[in-house]
Chain A
Amino acid sequence: MAEPVLEIRDLRKSFGALKATDGVSLHLVSGEIHALIGPNGAGKSTLIHQISGSLTPDSGTIRFLGQDMAGLDMAARARLGLARSFQTSSLAQEFSALRNVMLAVQAKQGSSLRFFRPVMRDRSLEEPAMAMLERAGLADRAHVPAAELPHGERRQLEIAIALALGPKAFLLDEPMAGMGPEGSKNLTRFLDTLRREAPILLVEHDMDAVFALADRVSVLVYGRIIATGKVDEIRNDPEVRRAYLGEPA
């Protein structure tokens, strides 16, 4: 098997007596969508926070493209190609959708210490940003401030921003959260094409989406991964069914 893009080994993180991440190991290989499912409070977001660098694990290692992530902050990890979306949309609210994406294009070009040239007349920012909005289906909303976009479109904007970073891996934290059935279906189709660009670690509650998209599924319960496998294996795993998939314990 090829070297995994993202490899997590024996990651642990406690908040007081609560073991939010309790010896988690998983990896993400090129071309795949690896879904992470689990009931509320299982520690999915805590795990994403540790991978993206907004939380420091107590122990364990996170390797991305063969490099140890210990000591690198969120910005440094993003520059290496780890793009994340947030469970609750996190956007520059006063900026238009276009400017939110332009910020990501600018970050990718590594050019934020330029003090004079006006960004609003800079084709090298606007054109790639517009292309990303088009791919995410938001081209006609480019000039609407992020604060005025409805929930579903903010989720799309988060994806467009991640896309603009030209990442080596996506960390998507519940991209479908709060979307209507139509929106979910569109986004599912879109994510399906995205895996060719970079592998996706997908945290998602929408089981239809997970089963339609995922190459592999890991089930997280109380901070531990109780099963990892192909969609069918997970669907039929008795422990998973008991812990999570609606069968009473």
Chain B
Amino acid sequence: MRQTVTREAITNAGLALLLLVVPLAASVMDEPFYVTLATRIAVLALAAVGLNIALGLGGLVSFGHAAFFGLGGYAAGILATHAFNAEPLFLGIPATTSMPAIWLVAVVVCGLVALPIGAISLRTSGVYFIMITLAFAQMIYYFAISWPAYGGQDGLSIYVRNTFPGVNTAQPLPFFLICYALLLLGLALFWALSGSRFGAALHAARQNATRLAAVGIAPFNIRLTAFAISAMITGLAGALFADLNRFTSPSMLSWHMSGELIVLIILGGKGRLFGPVAGAMLYVLFEFALGGITERWQLFLGLILLGVVLFARGGLMGLVAGKERYG
């Protein structure tokens, strides 16, 4: 096909570079706060990249992805707590503070939880799908706050950030680089999926599920697979988020969080590769810049969201890079 460099590719490269250069510069100038801010952007963007597979590619508006974000967070928190107290998990299985092991647990748990949630939710569509995914997430939320063993409403502190072989994760910059690398990996996966045969079926399921069934591909199977992959990526981001804050809070599981992830995607451009990155940048910068002036910063965010929905359906990426074209 046409191999010209598109405006979208340039925008994507620019955003990726910006997110890398700013924390590097901040680190040199000894401003660790900005490194942490960039880490927050990278982690939220990764969570939204996950949701973007279900919502953007598959047209499945999950209002329950906080469930997976929170489960990832609790995977990190619970494993770290057990390891800190030198208690085995159950059946004598030892806990760990190794990030790769925690990520694996987070991803597997989210995949396993997403399958039944998806299998039930995907029997519905439209507003019912939104409500049923919300209901599942709220069930997990209330379960978490009423389970005192893991902090209940108070959440779980992670006293020392979990470890990564050969990296001092207590320093802001190395931890940022881990999160940034995983964000790039998540983006690469999104890009590969979107262009693959599976992606073609998923795009078609969003555009016209009857057409997909009429050629012999069951939309349910495609959507369920997408939902599970989507949950796994969001869960990985949850584990990173807990390590970033050294705290797993039940609020990671709440419907506010699900809404926030959807807002990131709408702001950035749904279904676009770098939509979540652009959205997370805008969101976190807003939170930082306006949050310092007024507690009511979300009012202004609301106004921006209104503007995007009314005048720029494609979000930031739509404004900068134009309409999405499928060959």
Are the C-beta atoms of B196 and A115 separated by less than 8 Å?
Answer: yes
- Interface segment among A16-24, A58-66, A92-100, A206-214: the answer is A92-100
Please tell me the number of chain A residues within 8 Å of chain B, measured between CB atoms.
Answer: 44
* Distance A78 CA – B210 CA, assembled complex (angstroms): 12
Residues of B within 8 A of A (CB): 1, 192-193, 195-201, 203-204, 207-208, 210-219, 222, 225, 324-327
What are the 8 tightest A-B residue pairs by CB atom distance, in nearest-first order?
A78-B216, A79-B216, A75-B218, A107-B215, A74-B213, A118-B195, A92-B207, A112-B201
Picked from B200, B213, B225, the residue with its CB within 8 Å of the CB of A119 is B200
Are the C-beta atoms of B213 and A114 separated by less than 8 Å?
Answer: no
Are the C-beta atoms of B1 and A116 separated by less than 8 Å?
Answer: no
Picked from A74, A96, A112, A114, the residue with its CB within 8 Å of the CB of B214 is A74
Picked from B215, B324, B327, the residue with its CB within 8 Å of the CB of A161 is B215
* Distance A120 CA – B327 CA, assembled complex (angstroms): 8
Are the C-beta atoms of A103 and B225 separated by less than 8 Å?
Answer: no
- What would 25 A/B residue contacts be, using CB atoms closer than 8 Å? A54-B210, A54-B213, A75-B212, A75-B218, A75-B219, A86-B214, A91-B211, A92-B212, A94-B203, A94-B207, A99-B327, A103-B212, A106-B200, A107-B215, A107-B216, A112-B198, A112-B201, A112-B217, A112-B222, A113-B198, A113-B225, A114-B196, A117-B196, A118-B195, A120-B195
* Distance A103 CA – B219 CA, assembled complex (angstroms): 13
For B210, the chain A residues whose CB sits under 8 A away are 54, 74, 86, 90
Are the C-beta atoms of A112 and B203 separated by less than 8 Å?
Answer: no
Picked from A73, A94, A118, the residue with its CB within 8 Å of the CB of B213 is A73
Are the C-beta atoms of A78 and B200 separated by less than 8 Å?
Answer: no
Are the C-beta atoms of B207 and A112 separated by less than 8 Å?
Answer: no
Query: Helix, strand, loop or mixed for chain A's interface?
Result: mixed
A108 located at the interface, meaning its Cβ lies under 8 Å from any Cβ of chain B in the complex: yes
* Distance A123 CA – B215 CA, assembled complex (angstroms): 20
Q: Which residue of B lies closest to A79 (CB)?
A: B216
* Distance A106 CA – B324 CA, assembled complex (angstroms): 23
Residues of A within 8 A of B (CB): 52, 54, 73-76, 78-79, 83-84, 86, 90-96, 98-100, 102-104, 106-108, 111-122, 125, 143, 145, 161, 165
Query: Which of B201, B222, B324 has most chain A Cβ within 10 Å?
Result: B201
* Distance A122 CA – B211 CA, assembled complex (angstroms): 22
Are the C-beta atoms of B1 and A119 separated by less than 8 Å?
Answer: no
Known: A115-B198, A117-B196, A118-B195. A92 touches B213 (CB 8 A): no
Are the C-beta atoms of A93 and B196 separated by less than 8 Å?
Answer: no
Are the C-beta atoms of A114 and B198 separated by less than 8 Å?
Answer: yes
* Distance A173 CA – B176 CA, assembled complex (angstroms): 58
